[in-house]
Amino acid sequence: MSDKDWLDAVRWDAQGLVTAVVQEAGSGDVLMVAWMNRDALARTRELGEAVFWSRSRKRLWHKGEESGHVQKVESIRLDCDGDVLLLTVRQLGHEPPIACHTGRHSCFFRELQGGDWTSVAPVLKDPEDIYR
């Protein structure tokens, strides 16, 4: 399969994006969900580090470019429908690892308990110390 063919196998949405689920190697924790376009996916493969498409900033976003919390990509998988990617990563830049802009290990830190969303994971580092 040529370089072009592997990108063409992805079912991009109408905006040219695909959902990317990011899972931590070792623990299996889901760290975050983001979006990738063709350039982000190609750049991720080239660098071996996660690069996403920021819908709010309307530009490529190399994870860790501001925070230093880089995601080293161990594998990239495509689901059976071709419309979701699974990136297995090693989270670098802080011990314990931080993936969320809130300073938590994972973006999935709120759990539905009764009728309320309750934070069930601690802030590992104050976001003001991460993003200056």
Whether residue 99 lies inside any domain: the answer is: yes
Strands of the sheet with 71-78, listed across from one edge: 30-36, 18-24, 84-91, 71-78
Give the confidence band of 64 by pLDDT, cuts at 50, 70, 90. confident
Span 93-132, pLDDT tens digits:
878 888 988 999 999 999 999 999 999 999 998 888 877 6
Whether residue 52 lies inside any domain: the answer is: yes
pLDDT(3) > 80? no
Whether residue 61 lies inside any domain: the answer is: yes
Give the separation between CA 15 and CA 12, rounded to whole angstroms. 8
**Domain containing residue 73:** 3-127
CATH for 118: 3.10.20.810
Whether residue 116 lies inside any domain: the answer is: yes
Whether residue 12 lies inside any domain: the answer is: yes
The structural domain count of the chain equals 1
Whether residue 122 lies inside any domain: the answer is: yes
Measuring CA to CA, how many Å separate 95 from each of 103, 124, 131? Answer: 12, 9, 17
Give the separation between CA 60 and CA 82, rounded to whole angstroms. 22
